[in-house]
Amino acid sequence: MRLGEEPVRIVRNRFILALCALPIVVITLAYQGSVLATRSYMNEAALQAGTALRLAVSALGGHLSRYEPLPALISDHEGIETLIDQPSDQRLRDEANLYLKSINTLLGSSDIYVMTLDGETIAASNYDAPTSFVGQNFTYRPYFQEAAKGRQSRFYALGTTSSKRGYYFASPIRVGTVIKGVIVFKVDIDTIEASWRGGEYKIFVSDPEGIIFMTGSAEWLYSGILPLTPERRARTEASRRYSDAKLTALPIEHDTSGDHKLMNISQGTDKREYLVLSQYVPEADWTVNVLFDTSSVRTQARTIVAAGVLLLCLAGLAVAILLQRRARLAERMQMQMEAQNELEHRVEERTADLARVNRRIEEEIAEKRLTEQQLRQTQADLIQAGKLAGLGQMSAALSHELNQPLAAAKTYADSAAVLIDRNRIVEARDNIRRISGLIDRMASISRHLRNFARKPNEELAAVPIDEAMRDTAEIVAARLAAADAHLEVDLGDAPPVVRAGPVRLQQVLVNVISNAADAVEGLEDRRILVSARREGDKVAIIVRDHGPGVAPSIAERIFDPFFTTKGVGKGLGLGLSISYNIIKDFGGSLSVSNHLEGGAVFRIDLDAMVSAREAAE
């Protein structure tokens, strides 16, 4: 044996052993790395899917909670109570149909209908539609059975008459303490479902029997994610929740062997794996599910493992070359040095490529985390905005409607103090009486604002225009004085009488005249003309100012809530909106136009009534 052959043989044997062991090491590390990488990316995907699940649950809950108290509110309406007490009266049915249709249009709901305790539908918002509920019997529905027992109830189903899906809120109708019927409020859920289509996640809602009721994937509708056993089919058919819809089983394979709940769904020849997150909503008795396609997670995991294997192979190759180099160092020193330099250059390029891949992966992870934080912040902002919207609207309305009577009361109070100092007790007592009347007016305004979403119980009566204008002039006197405006009233020789509520009619006149004072303030001609004349069976009340008039673009929105052309802090845009609805409640109309000679003209048309003097004649 030549000198140096033994060390070369030892090195060669070690080289062969290392080559044999390398595949085992690579396979073992690749498997473990794949498991760890997949778990890490699955955890990240689960966090993002959890955020999407919470947003979906919040959106569904927020959409439905807006409508939940409405059946009980509508059941308190005098017309509904009278109808359920006299269900055979056709006139009451017609009035209830019109009322329910107007409420349904205003709220943007699907249907509203009233049933007697025997299940017969006697009034419905869709009374004039081909699929009218009037005359239908829904005693088989669980929501009817619960409400008939005096409980508020919920139910979601496919309509047997309309063939439209919806969420049902039902409430008993009580006359005194006796339950006489049931009122049902159906909410359309198609708008929420439409928002789920085309997104990163597949979202669907399933009932306790595992049947999909809402989904962004139309082909999954009415499919079961649980086996459709005869017991489940029997319970579903008993409530006729899905009418005549065909129920099918979704081809699903569940995988719960790992840390996450996975689901394989076959669609034709395509089979996809999804990460599944679910949340049961007890008040709605359904489960919201979010599915995330794991193909991207698997791809990322494979990329990381491939990069690791490549790096390991490069390291093994470097060791192999080093051992081979030592074995042939004596005879091929120069050649080995050149090969080593070439190899190191290639390793640097590969390492640089891997570093760029790692940086891109880290940037993607950072972007996904930032997106999750933004989603959470958006959710918090939406919840806070929802709280402030309701509070702000009521506070703004109360402030706008009470400021004017408060200003008048302050003026009377100051005047009363001066009169008492001068020992003019009779006049002071008259001022105090006026303050008491203004306080009564403020209480009435507060009650009307509270009942703004429904027709108030105040009965309409004959209101003389001259009396209403006299009280109105007292309230707006301070505002007219501040604007240096002049009010001219022409009610004719026999002031007409209208059918209205006296307090709310004053409220409308105060709002319109105050707006006219704002329009003429600072102008040369500051006259405000108020006239009233009878036109057949109607009375027209005209309020004209000599201001700049109303632009066509503004006239289209002038009666919208919170629309105003005034500066910040000078108006809330509620006065004309409230006035419009008050006049509409009287059965009249409020409109605006421009006078040919300049200025705005507000016209109030109301039903005429016979005055006491005319009745005596």
Picking from 248, 275, 296, the residue at the C-terminal end of a domain is 296
Cα–Cα dist 148/483, whole Å = 59
- Please state, for a pLDDT cut of 70, what percent of the chain lies above it: 84
Q: Is the pLDDT of residue 62 over 80?
A: no
So what's the pLDDT on residue 483?
A: 87
Q: How many CB atoms lie within 10 A of CB 146?
A: 18
pLDDT tens-digit profile of 154-171?
888 877 777 788 888 999
Residues 6+ away with beta carbon under 8 Å from 10: none
- CATH number for the domain spanning 224: value is 3.30.450.20
- 104/200 same-domain check: no
Which residue from 102, 156, 160, 123 is spatially nearest to 286, judged by alpha carbons?
Answer: 156
pLDDT tens-digit profile of 233-291?
877 777 777 777 777 878 887 776 667 778 788 776 777 888 888 888 887 778 888 88
- The strand order across the sheet containing 286-293 reads 212-215, 202-206, 286-293, 270-281, 262-267, 252-255
- Please state, for a pLDDT cut of 90, what percent of the chain lies above it: 15
Q: Is residue 437 part of a domain?
A: no
**What is the count of structural domains for the chain?**
4
Q: Is residue 436 part of a domain?
A: no
- 543/564 same-domain check: yes
- 207/183 same-domain check: no
So what's the pLDDT on residue 453?
A: 39
So what's the pLDDT on residue 612?
A: 58
Q: Is the pLDDT of residue 90 over 70?
A: yes
Residue 522 dihedral angles phi and psi, to the nearest 5°: 85, 0
Q: Is residue 491 part of a domain?
A: yes
So what's the pLDDT on residue 11?
A: 55
Q: Is the pLDDT of residue 5 over 70?
A: no
Q: Is the pLDDT of residue 393 over 70?
A: no
* Residue 330 DSSP SS3: coil
When pLDDT is averaged across residues 463-469 and rounded to a whole number, the result is: 91
Q: Element (H or E) spanning 333, and its range?
A: helix 333-421
pLDDT confidence tier of residue 79, bands split at 50, 70 and 90: confident
Q: Is the pLDDT of residue 386 over 70?
A: no
Q: How many CB atoms lie within 10 A of CB 325?
A: 17
So what's the pLDDT on residue 60?
A: 78
Amino acid symbol at 440: D
Chain center to CA of 586: 31
Q: Is the pLDDT of residue 187 over 80?
A: yes
Taking all residues of the chain, what is their mean pLDDT, rounded to a whole number? 80
Q: Is the pLDDT of residue 225 over 60?
A: yes
Q: Is the pLDDT of residue 356 over 50?
A: yes
- Can you name the residues that pair with 533 across neighbouring β-strands? 540
Q: Is residue 380 part of a domain?
A: yes
510 neighbors 403 (Cβ within 8 angstroms): no
Which residue from 566, 511, 521, 579 is spatially nearest to 545, judged by alpha carbons?
Answer: 521
* Residue 588 DSSP SS3: coil
- 34/125 same-domain check: no
- 251/322 same-domain check: no
149 neighbors 139 (Cβ within 8 angstroms): no
Q: Is the pLDDT of residue 3 over 60?
A: no
Q: Is residue 427 part of a domain?
A: no
Q: Is the pLDDT of residue 464 over 60?
A: yes
Q: Is residue 403 part of a domain?
A: no
pLDDT confidence tier of residue 194, bands split at 50, 70 and 90: confident
Q: Is residue 225 part of a domain?
A: yes
- 374/286 same-domain check: no
pLDDT tens-digit profile of 533-565?
999 999 999 999 998 888 888 878 888 777 676
Picking from 131, 166, 188, the residue at the C-terminal end of a domain is 188
So what's the pLDDT on residue 607?
A: 94
pLDDT confidence tier of residue 465, bands split at 50, 70 and 90: very high
pLDDT tens-digit profile of 503-515?
889 889 988 998 8
pLDDT confidence tier of residue 406, bands split at 50, 70 and 90: confident
Cα–Cα dist 542/413, whole Å = 32
- 109/249 same-domain check: no
Q: Is the pLDDT of residue 455 over 50?
A: no
Cα–Cα dist 599/415, whole Å = 35
Angle between helices 502-520 and 575-585 (to 10 degrees): 140
Residue 390 token pair: 């309701």
- 162/222 same-domain check: no
Cα–Cα dist 7/5, whole Å = 6
- 290/357 same-domain check: no
Q: How many CB atoms lie within 10 A of CB 586?
A: 22
Picking from 362, 386, 410, the residue at the C-terminal end of a domain is 386
Q: Taking the chain, what is the end-to-end CA distance rounded to the nearest angstrom?
A: 149
Q: Which DSSP string corresponds to 536-561?
A: TTEEEEEEEE-SS---HHHHTTTTST
- 473/599 same-domain check: yes
pTM for this one? 0.43
Beta strands 252-255 and 262-267 are antiparallel
- 331/470 same-domain check: no
So what's the pLDDT on residue 281?
A: 83
pLDDT confidence tier of residue 292, bands split at 50, 70 and 90: confident
**Which of 6-10, 14-18, 388-392, 568-572 has the highest mean predicted lDDT (pLDDT)?**
14-18
pLDDT confidence tier of residue 113, bands split at 50, 70 and 90: very high
Candidate from 177-181, 281-285, 429-433 with smallest mean pLDDT: 281-285
Chain center to CA of 153: 21
Which has the higher per-residue pLDDT, 2 or 26? 26
- 467/601 same-domain check: yes
So what's the pLDDT on residue 544?
A: 94
* Domain encompassing residue 43: 15-66+297-386
Residue owning tokens 């604002």: 449
